């Protein structure tokens, strides 16, 4: 009917409409088969052979539900990292854990502090919970503890800290991490996201484990995605027993599938492979940084399995967009950083030695 009243449709929460959906790195070149993917910070050496072999155990269990508590995987983490098993929780990627934390501890009127170039999932989970993201500015691409503490208000309920940070690769040392925690009220939850801990070489780095062990308001979040199991989506968290209890009340009962549990347990116990990953990454991260650093390209010192290359808007005739186009033309996919407020930068994952040499050849050729 011409004069009918339009129906009233379901309306999402206001904060949800303020979310910019997360866009993953480019993963292919228009269907072309030959390309080098360096856009998602995946393992440069693939998966642990022991993890791959463990998947053979799946075939006889396809009709069964997985263990709802992921006990064997938590036991492996407990054994290898010397952590109390009751204070561990497994998530479908660390992203699920971040969502659970936000849903449990943030709501309308609350604020969560996020660093200037912090992981894009932090504002997404904050807005999704109905809370407000508050940004603390970095100092020359490094997390500024004083800026974080200065952003705290009576409404602050959570602080997200990626350490090392994605996408800058920079980190704060153990002393600064302790200073940050010491400056926060006891009712503010400090989320230490140590997703790239397996790749850190710095001797003064703290993964956050000590803080969790001696505090009631700190959690340490980790992932398997950077150590060869990105396809299986496994994240984990070490936290105070009270916080683990809260998250277990929210998480899905069978949130971790059996293949993830089997491969994850084997990957944790394959310490030799993890050490091999670290050594390969450190070698080629240092090599690539030294090869491409110049007056035209600034490379931030990184502790992750990637580097951030910063170009001027027009330095020696080379911009980030031009460099990205040249790399794509050579079949190399890296990550553009406009979504992070870094339109003049490219994030380049560390891959094989051959891949690193190809990246250096393209970029050095442009600068020359």
Q: What is the mean pLDDT of each run of 10 residues along the chain (368 residues)?
A: 72 72 63 80 96 93 94 98 98 97 97 97 96 97 98 98 98 98 98 98 97 97 96 97 97 95 98 97 98 93 98 71 94 95 96 97 88
Contact 303, 199 (CB under 8 A): yes
CATH code of the domain made up of 49-270: 3.40.640.10
Instruction: List, in order, residues 6 or more apart from 159 with CB less than 8 Å away.
Output: 112, 113, 148, 180, 184, 188, 189, 190, 191
Alpha-carbon gap, residue 95 to 172, rounded angstroms? 22
Check residue 18 and give its pLDDT.
73
SS3 259: helix
Is the Cβ–Cβ distance between 349 and 43 less than 8 Å? no
Q: Hey, where are the domains in the chain?
A: 14-46+272-367, 49-270
CA distances to 87, 137, 170, 270 from 147, rounded to whole Å, are 31, 6, 16, 39
For strand 156-162 and strand 189-193, is the pairing parallel, antiparallel, or unpaired? parallel
Query: Rounded to an integer, what distance in angstroms lies between the CA atom of residue 270 and that of residue 48?
Result: 7
Q: Are 175 and 163 in contact (CB under 8 A)?
A: no
3-state secondary structure of 255: coil
* Closest CA relative to residue 233, chosen from 24, 17, 45, 75: 24
Residue 5 pLDDT: 85
Q: What's the CA gap between 341 and 338, in Å, rounded? A: 5
DSSP letter, residue 176: H
**Angle of helix 258-269 versus helix 71-81 axis, rounded to 10:** 20
CA distances from 246 to 84, 177, 239, 241, 288 (A): 17, 25, 11, 9, 44
DSSP labels for 117-174? Answer: T--THHHHHHHHTT-EEEEE--BTTB--HHHHHHT--TTEEEEEEESS-TTT-----H
Class of domain 14-46+272-367: alpha beta
Question: In this structure, what are the phi and psi dihedrals at residue 243, rounded to the nearest 5 degrees?
Answer: -75, -40
Q: Are 89 and 248 in contact (CB under 8 A)?
A: yes
Q: Are the CB atoms for 219 and 212 separated by under 8 Å?
A: yes
pLDDT of amino acid 315: 45
Q: Quick one: pLDDT at residue 60? A: 87
């Amino acid at each position: 009917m011409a004069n009918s009243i339009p129906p009233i449709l379901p309306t999402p929460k206001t904060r949800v409409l303020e979310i910019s959906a997360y866009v993953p790195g480019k993963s292919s070149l228009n269907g072309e088969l030959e390309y080098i993917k360096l856009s998602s910070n995946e393992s440069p050496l693939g998966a642990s052979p022991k993890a791959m072999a463990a998947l053979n155990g799946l075939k006889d269990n396809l009709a069964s539900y997985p263990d709802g508590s992921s006990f064997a995987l938590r036991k492996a983490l407990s054994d290898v990292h010397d952590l109390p098993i009751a204070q561990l929780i497994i998530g479908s990627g660390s992203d699920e854990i971040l969502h659970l934390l936000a849903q449990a501890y943030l709501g309308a009127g609350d604020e969560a502090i996020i660093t200037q170039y912090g992981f894009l999932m932090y504002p997404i989970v904050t807005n999704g919970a109905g809370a407000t993201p508050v940004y603390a500015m970095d100092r020359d691409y490094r997390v500024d503890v004083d800026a974080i503490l200065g952003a705290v208000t009576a409404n602050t309920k959570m602080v997200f800290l990626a350490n090392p940070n994605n996408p800058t690769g920079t980190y704060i040392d153990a002393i600064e991490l302790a200073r940050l925690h010491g400056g926060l009220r006891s009712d503010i939850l400090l989320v230490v996201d140590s997703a790239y801990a397996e790749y850190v070489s710095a001797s003064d780095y703290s993964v956050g484990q000590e803080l969790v062990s001696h505090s009631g308001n700190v959690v340490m979040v980790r992932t398997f995605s950077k150590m060869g199991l990105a396809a299986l989506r496994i994240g984990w968290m070490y936290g105070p027993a009270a916080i683990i209890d809260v998250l277990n009340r929210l998480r899905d009962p069978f949130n971790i599938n059996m293949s993830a549990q089997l491969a994850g347990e084997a990957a944790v116990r394959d310490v030799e492979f993890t050490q091999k990953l670290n050594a390969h990454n450190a070698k080629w991260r240092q090599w690539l940084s030294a090869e491409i650093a110049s007056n035209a390209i600034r490379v931030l010192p990184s502790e992750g399995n990637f580097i951030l290359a910063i170009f001027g808007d027009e330095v020696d005739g080379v911009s980030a967009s031009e460099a990205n186009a040249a790399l794509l033309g050579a079949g190399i996919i890296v990550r553009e950083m406009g979504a992070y407020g870094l339109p003049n930068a490219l994030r380049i994952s560390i891959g094989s030695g051959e891949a690193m040499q190809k990246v250096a050849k393209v970029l050095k050729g442009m600068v020359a």
